[in-house]
Amino acid sequence: MGLKWDLGMGLKMNKITHTLRLLCHTLYCKYRPLSFMRAGALTFILTGAALLAPIHAVMFGSAHAAQPVPWQLDLQPAATPLMEQTASLHAFLLYLAFAISFFVLLLLAYVMIKFNAKANPVPSKTSHNTPLEIIWTLIPVLILIVVSVPSFSLLYAQKTLPPIDMTIKATGYQWYWGYEYPDHDNIAFDALMLFDDELAEGQPRLLTTDNAVVVPVNTNVRVIVTAADVIHNWAMPAFGIKMDAVPGRLNETWFRAEKTGTYYGQCSELCGTRHAFMPIMVKVVTKEEFAIWVEQAKEEFLAHHLDDSDEEKSAHHSDTEKSAHHLDADKKGV
Ligand SMILES: [Cu+2]
């Protein structure tokens, strides 16, 4: 049995080596016009890039706060199971892409050394090889099937809402976000970006808002996303969420934040001149802290809400305009 298997394996390996050689021949014939120098340089760059990516992922993968940091290369650390799944699919694809690039590099190197004009002055005239063509069709198909398994399971997890504990409605406006808590006496407030001179110590620039979205930890939160004027997008990298906010349409998504802390995101759909200045700030707190916040928010925002008359709206507008002015002045360095 062992001997038979060995013999069979040997024959198979012979066939594989033969096939590889043919593959190299074909590659060489096809890319002959490309000079060796250029092919070498291109391969070097591509492999370098492919090699660096996983190394960076390993080196910088877990040290980030839940916000963008200067020179960031990898994804923000996951705060929800959905983002963990997204990050692992991302890592898997990265290694797969690396393996494929490395395999191609080896083939090219083999061709360059073995079949250059000096080493192989009389090239083969081979033009067809059925087993080889079947292999180079089947292998990519198999790779795609393998990739589809984690990919579809992630898509299913994103689209299938688990039993929901509470709902938040996020509405995109030009250029800020409005939030409503329908399960908590319709607490409603707007979140406008703070400008540089309004920031407290340690608050990140262009990401901090006057009012944060507050949610309890380990709670399944449904987010209903819509917009009032143009298309915006409610995106929170650490939660693995990026959901279009479309006027006249309710989109829904969900998250379950498993770590307390402050998380930052941004509108991710080009929505006008101040698209870059409508950040999203979510505070994940303990359930007790959330209960306290709800009571405070009811008082703070309810009066605000009852008075949601034209007067209030125009006051808000002038506030936004003031901020816009402020921004212009900021840009000019005034
Ligand atoms: Cu927007």
List the CATH number of the domain containing 228: 2.60.40.420
Does 320 map to a domain?
A: yes
Distance 268 CA to ligand 1 centre (A): 7
183 within 8 A of 174, measured Cβ to Cβ? no
Distance 324 CA to ligand 1 centre (A): 15
- Do 174 and 152 fall within a single domain? no
Distance 53 CA to ligand 1 centre (A): 31
Q: Which of 66, 49, 46 is nearest to 57 (CA)?
A: 49
The pLDDT, as a whole number, for residue 45 is: 55
Q: Which residue, chain included where needed, has tokens 């000096």?
A: 118
- Do 172 and 149 fall within a single domain? no
- Do 77 and 225 fall within a single domain? no
- Do 192 and 138 fall within a single domain? no
Distance 284 CA to ligand 1 centre (A): 23
Distance 8 CA to ligand 1 centre (A): 62
- Do 202 and 266 fall within a single domain? yes
Distance 233 CA to ligand 1 centre (A): 6
Does 3 map to a domain?
A: no
Distance 143 CA to ligand 1 centre (A): 37
Distance 146 CA to ligand 1 centre (A): 36
CB environment 255-281: b (16+ within 10 A), e (fewer):
bbbeeeebbbbbbbbebeebbebbbbb
Does 240 map to a domain?
A: yes
Distance 320 CA to ligand 1 centre (A): 14
| Total count of domains within the chain | 2
Distance 323 CA to ligand 1 centre (A): 16
Encode pLDDT of 114-158 as tens digits. Answer: 999 999 999 888 889 999 999 999 999 999 999 999 999 999 999
Distance 163 CA to ligand 1 centre (A): 29
Distance 23 CA to ligand 1 centre (A): 50
- Do 56 and 202 fall within a single domain? no
The pLDDT, as a whole number, for residue 28 is: 44
The pLDDT, as a whole number, for residue 201 is: 85
- Do 225 and 290 fall within a single domain? yes
Q: Which of 228, 86, 96, 90 is nearest to 158 (CA)?
A: 86
Distance 272 CA to ligand 1 centre (A): 7
The pLDDT, as a whole number, for residue 299 is: 87
- Do 242 and 98 fall within a single domain? no
Distance 78 CA to ligand 1 centre (A): 24
Residue numbers in the chain where pLDDT is lower than 50: 1-13, 17, 24, 26-34, 36-37, 39, 53-65, 309-319, 321-326, 328-334
Distance 310 CA to ligand 1 centre (A): 23
Distance 295 CA to ligand 1 centre (A): 30
Does 140 map to a domain?
A: yes
| DSSP for residue 19 | H
Distance 267 CA to ligand 1 centre (A): 5
Distance 229 CA to ligand 1 centre (A): 10
Q: Of the candidates 110, 141, 159, which is a domain's last residue? A: 159
- Do 94 and 172 fall within a single domain? no
- Do 53 and 132 fall within a single domain? yes
The pLDDT, as a whole number, for residue 202 is: 84
- Do 101 and 217 fall within a single domain? no
Does 5 map to a domain?
A: no
- Any idea what the CATH number is for the domain that residue 46 is in? 1.10.287.90
The pLDDT, as a whole number, for residue 268 is: 95
The pLDDT, as a whole number, for residue 18 is: 55
CA dist 82 and 221 (Å) reads 13
The pLDDT, as a whole number, for residue 302 is: 74
Strand partners, 91: none
Distance 231 CA to ligand 1 centre (A): 7
Does 242 map to a domain?
A: yes
Domain interval for residue 289: 166-331
Distance 316 CA to ligand 1 centre (A): 17
The pLDDT, as a whole number, for residue 63 is: 31
Strand extents, DSSP E, the chain: 166-173, 176-181, 187-191, 213-216, 221-227, 232-236, 241-245, 251-255, 261-267, 279-285
Does 4 map to a domain?
A: no
- Do 147 and 195 fall within a single domain? no
Distance 159 CA to ligand 1 centre (A): 23
Does 19 map to a domain?
A: yes
Q: Of the candidates 159, 192, 220, which is a domain's last residue? A: 159
Q: Provide the whole-model pTM.
A: 0.69
The pLDDT, as a whole number, for residue 105 is: 97
Q: Of the candidates 95, 124, 159, which is a domain's last residue? A: 159
Neighbours of 28 (CB within 10 A): 21
CA dist 125 and 117 (Å) reads 14
Distance 247 CA to ligand 1 centre (A): 12
